[in-house]
Amino acid sequence: MAPPLAAAAGAVSSSPPLFSPSSSGPLIRRHAPPSYVSMRRRCRSQPAAAAAEPSGSPLLEVRGLTASVKETGQQILAGVNLTIREGEIHAIMGKNGSGKSTLSKVLVGHPHYEVTGGTILFKGEDLVDMEPEERSLAGLFMSFQAPIEIPGVSNFDFLLMAVNARREKSGLPALGPLEFYSVVSPKVDALKMDPKFLDRNVNEGFSGGERKRNEILQLSVIGADLALLDEIDSGLDVDALEDVAIAVNGLLTPQNSVLMITHYQRLLDLIQPSYVHIMENGKIIKTGDSSIATQINEGGFKSIALV
């Protein structure tokens, strides 16, 4: 039976555990992001930093990827090329319908889409023929734009089963409920979530913002080599967004990476990307540094000159 998190969101990582019974303290972030307001002021008053020079080993390599809706045959992705290295943060922006969310779903093996061409290598392994649960156990996590409800399954049980599935793959003993509670509790506190969330069914009756916090809680507890975050800023107020950004920044290491999909610069002010990609008509048409996001924020997509 596939682990529940893999079946729901392709989210379990096979990398060594980010925690042990003796190291279950709250998240530690590499640097504290300034407030949204102060960050925007600084972004407007200083020139954008140049995109980082590649340094880590390739984590994800996408070449000439084409994909269509399985039921209708409608092509959505039309030749995507993308490389993400260890320790990098990438952001994808684009108009509605440009293929951003489809790309993330294809990467985790969503059954509604069919790869019709190109290659996807993750840590050197071909993802295309892997089942979603295999991709999740390989180290992919996806935070969906609209997380689903799972009636009858509590958040605590969901997370415990997903963590133990990853531990089993790594050859580690399963955690018991009491042992696991000492792991998950500080991570709930770090996201400023009510501990009662652990007793509630997964996303059932949750507001949009609560669902997004819950997705980041899953990422925080389980870990990932590559986290795909699809519009985690939607439905969040400024304070909630900053809490989520702190949690994501705290999970970053030189070995793991993040791919964010967003329409808004405010997320990129808090989780600062190494690269920003612009997507249109199913392919990436421009890549640069965070100054691209600033241009779009001030002048729309028409302000981006393609060279």
Domain total of the chain: 1
Distance (Å) of CA 101 to CA 187, 257, 276: 27, 18, 15
Q: Is residue 34 part of a domain?
A: no
pTM: 0.78
Q: Is residue 127 part of a domain?
A: yes
Q: Is residue 161 part of a domain?
A: yes
Domain encompassing residue 82: 4-13+48-297
Q: Is residue 194 part of a domain?
A: yes
Q: Is residue 88 part of a domain?
A: yes
Distance (Å) of CA 275 to CA 91, 260, 268: 6, 10, 10
In the chain, beta strands by DSSP E: 58-69, 75-85, 89-94, 113-122, 125-126, 140-143, 150-154, 201-202, 226-230, 257-261, 275-280, 283-288
Q: Is residue 38 part of a domain?
A: no
Over the chain (307 residues), the average pLDDT of each successive run of 10 is: 39 35 34 38 37 74 97 96 96 93 94 96 93 90 81 93 89 93 91 89 83 87 91 82 87 91 88 94 93 84 67
Q: Is residue 218 part of a domain?
A: yes
Residue 188: CATH number of its domain: 3.40.50.300
Q: What is the pLDDT of residue 305?
A: 59
Q: Is residue 33 part of a domain?
A: no
